[in-house]
Amino acid sequence: GNSVTQMEGPVTLSEEAFLTINCTYTATGYPSLFWYVQYPGEGLQLLLKATKADDKGSNKGFEATYRKETTSFHLEKGSVQVSDSAVYFCALSDPNAGKSTFGDGTTLTVKP
Amino acid sequence: DGGITQSPKYLFRKEGQNVTLSCEQNLNHDAMYWYRQDPGQGLRLIYYSQIVNDFQKGDIAEGYSVSREKKESFPLTVTSAQKNPTAFYLCASSTEAGRYNEQFFGPGTRLTVL
């Protein structure tokens, strides 16, 4: 079956630090890959996505590249802000499975 | 504005009672999903529906039931058979189930069993 493994948290960074959250996946087909963000007490919001190998998704300074050879989709941001503090979920969508698979989430705290 | 609404935001129930969580979407999406999230945990899929009048069990369906009589609505009933129902419940939708499309999430309902 499909699975998504995320870097364990929590992650604590100072403002303007570089962020990397690792994500690797296992899938039988050719999935699309996503990063979602969840702020306290809210639902998830799509942050970025990539639908095929070597695609780069980007949004609000965050980037992730679909690496088929390493089955990875690591999230990066060059300079984090306090407002980036949230829980980040890596996910894949496989048309053969009929549903999505989510990682366990990584909590990011950015301190001023 | 298009989106997904869940109501109520907070819900309290006594042990042994059934309770129904509402989920409505006006995005004209075919697929809808229910997830459970426990503190510090990821999402676990309860039920999903790809089209009206059809739905499938997810990973933790025991103690829950759903219906999909209308495209825009996918209510979840937490029955008394669910042994530990206190959790945050999230509803989501997408244009097609399992295709290359992202899911859109509602704001969630926090259920507390007293």
Over the stretch A59-95, which tens digit does the pLDDT of each residue have? Answer: 999 999 999 999 999 999 999 999 999 999 999 998 7
Q: What is the pLDDT of residue A88?
A: 97
- Provide, rounded to the nearest whole percent, the portion of chain A with pLDDT above 70: 100
Q: Do A89 and B102 touch (CB under 8 A)?
A: no
Shortest Cα–Cα distance, B10 to chain A (Å) = 11
All residues of chain B having their beta carbon less than 8 Å from the beta carbon of residue A51 are 100
| Local confidence band at A23 (pLDDT 50, 70, 90 cut-offs) | very high
3-class secondary structure, B17:
coil
Element (H, E) at B6: strand B4-7
Task: Give the closest of A49, A51, A94 to B98, CB-based.
Answer: A94
Shortest Cα–Cα distance, B73 to chain A (Å) = 18
What integer is the mean pLDDT of B77-103? 88
3-class secondary structure, A84:
helix
Shortest Cα–Cα distance, B82 to chain A (Å) = 22
Q: What is the pLDDT of residue B101?
A: 79
Closest C-alpha to B58, from B69, B73, B74, B71: B74
**Mean pLDDT across chain A, nearest whole number?**
94
Strands A23-26 and A3-6: antiparallel
Whether pLDDT at A17 is above 90: yes
Whether pLDDT at B99 is above 70: no
Closest C-alpha to A110, from A4, A31, A11: A11
Q: Which of A5, A8, A92, A93 to mutate to test the interface with B (most CBs of B within 10 A)?
A: A93
